[in-house]
A and B are shown apart, each in its own frame.
Chain A
Amino acid sequence: MIATISANPTHATPPTKLGRKVRFRIKRCEGPGKPSTWNTYTVTIDQKGANVISCLQQIAANPVTVEGTRTTPVVWDSGCLEEVCGACTMVINGKVRQSCSALIDHLAPNEGDEISLEPMSKFPVIRDLSVDRQRMFHNLARLKAWVPIDGTYALGGGPKESPEAQETRYALSTCMTCGCCLEACPQFNLETDASKWDSSFVGAQAISQARLFNMHETGKELAPARLDALMGPGGVSDCGNSQNCVKVCPKHIPLTESIAAVGRAVTLHAITKFFRG
């Protein structure tokens, strides 16, 4: 297990060449419905451990393009900067990921290397690199992704749980709603009309959360409701098994296992319902 982590070549940071100049090609958009344009900026890498965020911060302080035009500062979302909040997700060099963990030494090790930044394409652009991911939270509500407890009063502890079950649940529970799995999913499409969200594909994120709560002793109570929702339009059967979700998930959540597990659950649920009415 450990060996696989260190064997991953992306983890071997090349030595930083301080003082090198890196170009950032950034897709800009002033707001919803406005056309997109590209701006290119040059950033001097003057600190060890520089990442896309630290470069965007440099650009924000003095946004002048390579052509010498002064622009507005680039707008982007960020939060924890340590890949647990999910805010700073964007498309970097064509692939979706968090920008805080996008180290410049990996992406642009040499003088003059270029990095392209685009907003996620499956969510409506707010401005520049910032997008509206409300749909993901909406889908959590759609699937009742919570444990229906009897209020917050002291009523004793929760159910006992085996370490194995805890490990499975914990893995699923690290989902930070970043949207990488949805951006890379060929079945999940941009939908600006919120009234259609309930019939559009929910995607791996929400399916996996449904599995998480169906696994919990108390969360189980809502399993039939969750499975009903997942059998409807936009439910689990709209998955096309491209399995991109699991490959781009920064938290290595076993999303495809969740999809299969929910597939089994709806199969059994359908049979049960058929015979029970």
Chain B
Amino acid sequence: MAAAGNQRVIVVGGGLAGLAATVRIAESGLAVDLFSVVPVKRSHSVCAQGGINACNEVARQQGYSEYEHFDETIYGGDFLADQHPVLEMANWAPKIIDLLDRMGVPFNRTSEGYRDLRLFGGSLFKRTHFAGATTGQQLIYALDEQTRRYESEGKVTKYEFWEFLWPVIEDGRAVGIVAQDMRTMQIRAFRADAVVMATGGCGLVYGKSTNSIICTGAAAARCYQAGVHYGNPEMIQVHPTAIPGADKLRLMSESARGEGGRVWVPRKKGDMRAPRDIPDAERYYFLEERYPKYGNIVPRDIATREIFSICVDDGLGVSGENQVYLDLTHRDPDYLKRKLEGILEIYEKFAGEDPYRNPMKIFPAVHYSMGGLWTTFTPGSYNPAQARHKHKSGSPAPIDAKVGQGMQLGAINNAMTNIEGLYAFGEVNFAYHGANRLGANALLSCLFDGLFCGVSVANYVRNAAPSKAPAESLPAAAYERVTQQEEAKVKNLLSTVNQGNYDEKTNAYVIHRELGVEMTTACTVVKSDARLRQCQSKLGELKGRYANVKLGDAAGWTNQSLSFARAVGDMLLVADAIALGSLERKESRGAHYRTDYKDRDDANFMKTTLASLKPETRDVSVQFVPIDASLILPEARTYGKVAADATSAAKQPVAAGV
């Protein structure tokens, strides 16, 4: 029955991480069942615009190295990431670019035909590869094509429009999932020897964000409820530049700044002149003035906070509203069209203004979740006796970029959660980005997980899982139990239909809207003890109302309200974890900024926030666990800011050579 040929892996989520895992695992000879709530080609990865980072020959000959990429990522993440995995990711990056290139990704080219590069936040070297302004779309299409190829060869089975409901865990080991067909509404269990969660971020917890409508975080929340730890929930990246909108906040890629975009506001408060009528002297290029070295390409959290503060604290927002100019009008339109057409078209389409001639109006928006399901790893062979100081930019790297120095290739616990056989790849895990993700590192981490940690999954299934009870031979009871649990949930929700009239208090859409507003105000750019406690009580109120949620649709066919209402319950739990993590982390680090604890506190908080749910009370608890910081010593993260206030000036010299 359980012959080697019957070993299966379930991959949940068909974004870049899920597809990379699918391809890698299928290639190793294991059957893959791929689950996605949308056709995988429509996953949220399509929204990544700017590019993908990797050391390359040009940068290398200018003094750049994989090691420096590693260093930048750690520094950019404000020393919260476990360091060994990041080293391995940076070392692998060039291989990933080569592979994508072979898959046919139309990377932009130099006139001689080599891959072109652009400058991106957090680096002084051009190390970002890009395909027009829709790099994420191009990457996921390449993986989608390879997946389709394996699908047509019978190695991969796709379950599109299937929603993951719960992991099946038997004896502490993941042995399958329960999922629901979103059309027929059938709920059934699927067996597997390992399960890979690659379900992305949780932007919808914030109502409007730059995320796709499918990024509820519900799948991760369900694993979390089933006992998986959640790491650094409070680390939510707010992207500095987004286009305000009624249904979502659309990303204006960092590449707009990378290609010379300048951020400014009128120096005079309430200046209502058209932007082109405001002379240069009367424009406040606040990022350039405050960060002369990096200027407009400071990392995201810094740009976000500066834009937020210029509008909210200084009241200098354009037209008195919460918005600043992102100006590309000084660049040659043909150049812009070639490099940025895709994103500028989005602006034109949704804002109704021509960005080639008028500065764009932008404001920060929730963008990425650095936190996520907590995962483990086996450190690689590079273990210096003592952690080194921050790498001097452009100086020779202390080590080469050989495979296995950061993480041990194929070790079965790489990217595995605290549940054996349950892996988390891509944005859904908490690894690599620490307290803040560098631009163009997200696509990289997704692909790295899929390709590098995919080997771990295959090894686990081959070498470790069969020594226990292979999924195929397990008794059906474990699967039936979870199926029944989920069926009961659905029955319960459906039974609320037609119980009384429309009531805002118990309407899932209204609860979600209020959740979004609350989380955006309390848990994004600036946080404080008082506001977070207020947020917690609001969440308590929302959870109370959700307990009586009423559905508007009893249909047994394509019932979207059911899926949505169910997800709102999960989002509320993620929100809980975010709020508690934010409250307990009494420091400021990366994307997490506390007005009452403005400084980084390495002694107490250079640790992972580990959130877990008490199954009985469904209450969240957090603890802080040590991180792997054995490679680089922490250092103040200033990006060479011109000291404006005494505290930061006194505390450390400007980070040398960043």
> Do A and B interact directly, with beta carbons closer than 8 Å?
yes
Q: Which residues of A contact B (CB under 8 A)?
A: 1-2, 5-6, 11-13, 30-31, 47-51, 53-54, 57, 60-64, 70, 72-73, 75, 77-87, 100-101, 103, 105, 126-127, 130, 133-134, 137, 140-141, 144-149, 151-152, 154-158, 160-163, 165-166, 169-170, 173-174, 176-177, 213, 216, 218-219
Q: How far is the CA of A83 from the CA of B333 in the complex (A)?
A: 23
Instruction: Give which listed residue, B24, B131, B251, contacts A152 with CB less than 8 A.
Output: B24
Could you tell me if B39 and A75 are in contact, using CB atoms closer than 8 angstroms?
no
Q: Are A81 and B213 in contact (CB under 8 A)?
A: yes
Contacting pair B248 A81 (CB below 8 A): yes
Q: Choose one: B39, B108, B131, B251; the contact of A82 (CB below 8 Å).
A: B251
Q: Which residues of B contact A151 (CB under 8 A)?
A: 27
State A8–B142 Cα separation when bound (angstroms). Answer: 33
In the complex, A175 Cα to B507 Cα: how many Å?
37
Asked if A6 and B354 make an inter-chain contact with CB atoms under 8 angstroms apart, the answer reads: yes
Contact A84 B46 (CB under 8 A): yes
Find chain A residues with CB under 8 A from B251 CB.
82
Which B residues are in CB contact (< 8 Å) with A174? 132, 134, 137-138, 342
Q: Does B148 contact A141, Cβ atoms closer than 8 Å?
A: yes
- Chain A residues contacting B357 (CB-CB under 8 Å) are 6
Nearest CB in chain B: distance from A84 CB, A:
5
In the bound complex, CA of A141 to CA of B148 (Å): 7
A72→B38 contact, CB < 8 A: no
A-B contact pairs, 17 of them (CB 8 A): A48-B244, A48-B246, A53-B247, A60-B560, A62-B502, A72-B553, A78-B213, A80-B44, A145-B148, A146-B146, A146-B149, A156-B102, A163-B111, A169-B104, A170-B108, A173-B131, A177-B39
A61-B244 in contact given A152-B24, A174-B134 (Cβ < 8 Å): no
B351 close to A49 (CB less than 8 A):
yes
Inside 8 A of A161's CB, which chain B residues have their CB?
Answer: 106, 109, 113
Q: Is B389 an interface position by the 8 A CB rule?
A: no
B95 within 8 A of A: yes
* Contact residue among A31, A53, A154, A169 (Cβ-Cβ distance under 8 Å from B558): A31
In contact, B333 and A80 (Cβ under 8 angstroms):
no
B555 at the interface (CB under 8 A from A): yes
Once bound together, how far apart are the Cα atoms of A31 and B111, in whole Å? 53
**Closest residue to B342 on the A side, CB-wise?**
A174
Q: Mark B101-128, 1 if CB is under 8 A from A, else 0.
A: 1111011111111110000000000000
- Chain B: interface size category: 35 or more
The 5 closest A-B CB pairs, nearest first, are: A13-B352, A158-B101, A61-B509, A146-B145, A160-B113
Given contacts A79-B214, A144-B152, A162-B113, 18 further A-B contacts (CB under 8 A): A1-B333, A2-B333, A2-B356, A5-B354, A54-B245, A70-B502, A70-B552, A73-B561, A79-B212, A81-B248, A127-B557, A137-B39, A140-B145, A151-B27, A157-B101, A157-B102, A157-B115, A169-B106
From 125 to 170 in chain B, residues with beta carbon under 8 angstroms from any chain A beta carbon are 131-132, 134, 137-138, 141-142, 145-146, 148-149, 151-152
In the complex, whether B334 has a CB less than 8 A from a CB of chain A is yes
Contact residues of B with A, CB < 8 Å?
23-24, 27, 38-39, 41-44, 46-47, 95, 97-99, 101-104, 106-115, 131-132, 134, 137-138, 141-142, 145-146, 148-149, 151-152, 183, 212-214, 244-248, 250-251, 333-334, 337, 342, 345-346, 348-354, 356-357, 451, 502, 507, 509-510, 513, 552-553, 555, 557-558, 560-561
> By the criterion CB–CB under 8 Å, are B148 and A146 in contact?
yes
Known: A31-B557, A53-B247. Is A87-B42 also a contact (CB below 8 A)? yes
Complex contacts, A61 vs chain B, CB 8 Å: 507, 509-510, 513
Q: Determine whether the beta carbon of A157 is less than 8 Å from that of B39.
A: no
Docked complex Cα distance between A145 and B137 (Å): 16
Is B334's CB under 8 angstroms from A11's CB?
Answer: no
A160 to B113, CA, bound (A): 5
Give CA–CA (A80, B141) in the complex, Å.
Answer: 15
When the two chains form their complex, are residues A137 and B148 in contact, meaning their CB atoms are under 8 A apart? yes
A213: chain B residues at CB < 8 Å are 104
Partner of A51, one of B110, B146, B246, B334: B246
If the complex has contacts A85-B42, A152-B27, are A75 and B560 also in contact, measured as CB distance less than 8 A? yes
User: Taking CB as reference atom, which chain B residue is nearest A173?
Assistant: B106
- Residues in B with CB closer than 8 Å to A148 are 149
**B residues in contact with A2, CB < 8 Å:** 333-334, 337, 356
Task: Report chain A residues within 8 Å CB of B23.
Answer: 152
Look across to chain A and name the residue whose beta carbon is closest to the beta carbon of B23: A152
A155–B553 Cα gap in the complex (Å)? 53
Q: Say whether A141 contacts B151, CB under 8 Å.
A: yes
State A31–B559 Cα separation when bound (angstroms): 11
CA distance A137 to B39 in the complex (A): 9
Residues of chain A contacted by B115 (CB below 8 angstroms): 157
Smallest distance from the beta carbon of A159 to chain B beta carbons, Å? 8
Could you say which residues of chain B place their CB within 8 Å of the CB of A48? 244, 246
Check B104–A219 contact: CB distance below 8 A.
yes
Q: Which residues of B contact A140 (CB under 8 A)?
A: 145, 148
Inter-subunit contact B555/A147 (CB<8 Å): no
| Complex: A48 Cα to B322 Cα, angstroms | 14
Smallest Cβ-Cβ distance to B338: which chain A residue: A167
Q: Provided the pairs A149-B146, A163-B111, A173-B141 are in contact, do residues A103 and B352 lie with their beta carbons within 8 angstroms?
A: yes
